[in-house]
Structure 1
Amino acid sequence: MMVCLILLLALPISSFALKANTQNIQDHNLKAVYLFRFAFLTTWGAFAPSNQKFNFCSEASSDISNTLRALINKKPAQATFIPYSSISDIQPNSCHVIYLSTQDPIMIKQFQTSQPHALLVGDGESFIHSGGMIAFIKINNRIKPLISLKHIAPTGLSLRSQLLSVSNIANDEGSL
């Protein structure tokens, strides 16, 4: 399992994710790397981007967004960053991975309706309880994805075993 986590995070993150102390990775940096990797650890089928570039949508100004944007700027052939202030800023069906800071079930449902084949990612178990698909949780002081297979199923997407093996899977009620 540890090998899978190392492979998952094998992107060159040192230039922007590490602080002066190389053992101190900030949570928002790790979350941004996970967000980027989620697109490549998902089987998109008919919903794969025709131009081979994934669109990552995230709130315009947050530490996670800034780090994700910096990562995407280093990989322009693979991805595009789309910042938003509200859901109306995003064209329907334009995002592949969306990071949300809200845990409001109404807002999450609006994103699901507008972006029916996107992964909705947020923070905490309450995000899953509100209808989110993947949430970042902390276990033993480490960031891990918590995945709701029930909420991902309607998208027509599937997650690869490499991601599932390093994640916690939520039960039907959305908790561990």
Structure 2
Amino acid sequence: MRTSALLVMFLLARSMLPQMRAPASEYQVKAAFLLNFTKFIEWPPRAFDDAKAPIAICLFGDDPFDGALNQLVEGEVVNGRKLVVQKIRHAPAAKTCQVVFVNKAEKEPSKILGGLGPGVLTVGEGEGFLRDGGMIAFVLENHRVRFDINQGAASNAELSLSSRLLSVAKTVAK
């Protein structure tokens, strides 16, 4: 009886292994950050077509999130606006995107950054992204995802960043 009880416990534990959460991948963490950034940004009213327009997170270039971002934002509402994810290949038209994520594989991020108007939060990867005019750059530090902020670039785009967001950034450039 004891052997059969152990066998049942072993089989139950083994069947639960696929359901146990694996450590979050780098891009799962970045997807969570992108979602949370939207909660700490104040956009100018003219960044949207109307009061019911969604907050669009646009992915410029290839999608490194492998669907994780889409799953994460599904059904999410921030400040009364639904969140949506779109893939783009060129600088978006005004009011199309409120957040633009530029994949680190993009060779010339300044091309898209220069074509964006006010009211668009730009997020990318690596310390060079801020030098190219980006607003938030993901950086890896001791195998952890952190981010730097270029507050001047955000202000120039008429975006207001919460002091709470600024306080958790690795560095903030004025």
- Normalising by structure 2, we get a TM-score of 0.74
User: C-alpha displacement at 1:140, in angstroms?
Assistant: 2.3
Contact kept in structure 1, 2:56 and 2:85, CA below 8 Å: yes
Contact kept in structure 2, 1:108 and 1:131, CA below 8 Å: no
In structure 2, stretches of 5+ residues that fail to align are 1-17
Identity, in percent, stands at 25
1:36 partnered with 2:39: no
Contact kept in structure 2, 1:32 and 1:65, CA below 8 Å: no
Counterparts of 1:21 and 1:126 in 2: how far apart (Å)?
Answer: 37
Determine which structure has the larger strand proportion and give its number: 2
Aligned residue runs from structure 1 range 93-104, under 5 A = 93-101=95-103, 102=106, 104=108
- The aligned counterpart of 1:26 is 25
Q: Any idea what SS the aligned residue of 2:155 has?
A: helix
User: C-alpha displacement at 1:78, in angstroms?
Assistant: 1.9
Aligned residue runs from structure 1 range 144-163, under 5 A = 144-163=146-165
Q: Which has the larger radius of gyration?
A: 2
- The aligned counterpart of 2:73 is 72
Counterparts of 2:165 and 2:69 in 1: how far apart (Å)?
Answer: 19
- The aligned counterpart of 2:142 is 140
User: C-alpha displacement at 1:62, in angstroms?
Assistant: 1.9
TM superposition outliers: structure 1 runs of 4+ over 3 Å: 19-23
CA-based RMSD: 2.5
- The aligned counterpart of 1:8 is none
Contact kept in structure 2, 1:93 and 1:114, CA below 8 Å: no
Q: For 1:72-96, what per-residue CA distance to the aligned partner results, in whole angstroms no more than 9, with x for missing partners?
A: 2243762121111x115x3323111
Q: For 1:74-120, what per-residue CA distance to the aligned partner results, in whole angstroms no more than 9, with x for missing partners?
A: 43762121111x115x332311111001352531433xx33421111
- The aligned counterpart of 2:111 is 107
Counterparts of 1:79 and 1:170 in 2: how far apart (Å)?
Answer: 26
Counterparts of 2:40 and 2:121 in 1: how far apart (Å)?
Answer: 11
User: C-alpha displacement at 1:34, in angstroms?
Assistant: 0.7
Counterparts of 1:147 and 1:87 in 2: how far apart (Å)?
Answer: 24
Q: Which residue type is aligned with residue 154 of structure 1?
A: N
Contact kept in structure 1, 2:117 and 2:157, CA below 8 Å: no
Q: Which residue type is aligned with residue 155 of structure 1?
A: A
Counterparts of 2:152 and 2:63 in 1: how far apart (Å)?
Answer: 28
1:81 partnered with 2:85: yes
Counterparts of 1:144 and 1:104 in 2: how far apart (Å)?
Answer: 22
